[in-house]
Amino acid sequence: MNHPHPIRIAADTAAGRILVADSYTYCDARVGTGDVYVGASFFGAYCAALALRWGAKALIGHAAGVGKDQAGISGLDFCQRYGVPAAACETLSARIGEGESLWQGAVGHLNPAAAALGVRLGQPVQEAAEYLLAAPVGRVVHDEATLQAPLTVVAQGPRGSVFCLVSLSLLDRPRPADVFCVGSHSGSVLHVFAHTVRPKGVIANDAGLAKDDSGIAGLAPLAAEGIAAAAVSAASARIGDPLDTYASGIVSHANPVAAQAGVRPGMTAREAAQRMLER
């Protein structure tokens, strides 16, 4: 039976495995201490922590425009703290949310632990992953402070509310009356998770758009399901921080359902969320 969130084994060697996936949220017991995980999520500290809690020994993610306070690559310093080699692809070299595209990308950022293994800027991700196989066996890291993902209500209406949450992947039931400001990007996986939650509206980060505008690829399919969706610019809000999405985000893109509710580029996420809630 096929797993709903596939992880491909790109290499299985005496030094360990290289795993490729669309998202760091896919990390589970399939990931072990001998693995290099190449995941096409933004490479924030939260995403890195999702892999380290399973003991992955080295990581590669997506820079997601780097963005406000360098949130798109905050996982590099997080990994360095634990001695884990890590890198992120250059934003425009790969489609975010698509592991196979990241696998074809180029390194744009790395931490000292990765540099010590020979990883370098501009290097193909595939080659960098092979270098990272030389990393020491990983260890399970439980950084609970980084993994905290509270569901926070920030506004209420007569029939629904506006919530902040790191990712819709943390919800497992429909919430058709509610609007969510999330920390994750608005690429194709946003549609995957929103399909289950079916919110009234969702606002995510545009991840610097990335290759082929993949950072907003989830907006159109959500419109087809009648769900209002918008993205805030990576420069305006820290990717991975849902409260900053709501408090500081400036809308860069909106799907037709959101536009019908009055959501426009240049609008604050706070106002956009309220218009989605009232539609």
Boundaries of every domain in the chain: 7-144, 149-278
| Amino acid occupying residue 130 | E
Q: Are 206 and 62 in contact (CB under 8 A)?
A: no
State pLDDT tens for residues 76-130: 999 999 999 999 999 999 999 999 999 999 999 999 999 999 999 999 999 999 9
Place of tokens 């780097």: 66
With a CB cutoff of 8 Å and minimum separation 6, the contacts of 172 are: 196
- pLDDT (tens digit, 0 to 9) for every residue of the chain, 279 residues total? 578 899 999 999 999 999 999 999 999 999 999 999 999 999 999 999 999 999 999 999 999 999 999 999 999 999 999 999 999 999 999 999 999 999 999 999 999 999 999 999 999 999 999 999 999 999 999 999 999 999 999 999 998 999 999 999 999 999 999 999 999 999 999 999 998 999 999 999 999 999 999 999 999 999 999 999 999 999 999 999 999 999 999 999 999 999 999 999 999 999 999 999 998
pLDDT score, position 104: 98
**Angle at CA 91, nearest 5°, toward 89 and 92?**
115
pTM exceeds 0.85: yes
pLDDT score, position 73: 98
Per-residue three-class SS string for the chain: CCCCCCEEEEEEECCEEEEEECCHHHCCCCCCCCEEEEEEEECCHHHHHHHHCCCCCEEEEECCCCCHHHHHHHHHHHHHHCCCCEEEECHHHCCCCCHHHHCCCEEEEECHHHHCCCCCCCCEHHHHHHHHCCCCCCCCCCCHHHHCCCCEEEEECCCCEEEEECCHHHCCCCCCCCEEEEEEECCHHHHHHHHHHCCCEEEEECCCCCHHHHHHCCHHHHHHCCCEEEEECCCCCCCCCHHHHHHHCEEEEECHHHHHCCCCCCCEHHHHHHHHHHC
d(CA 77, CA 139): 17
Longest CA–CA span in the chain (Å) reads 59
* CA-to-CA dists, residue 275 to 24, 176, 217, 245, 264, angstroms: 31, 15, 22, 16, 10
State pLDDT tens for residues 36-60: 999 999 999 999 999 999 999 999 9
Q: Are 164 and 242 in contact (CB under 8 A)?
A: yes
pLDDT score, position 109: 98
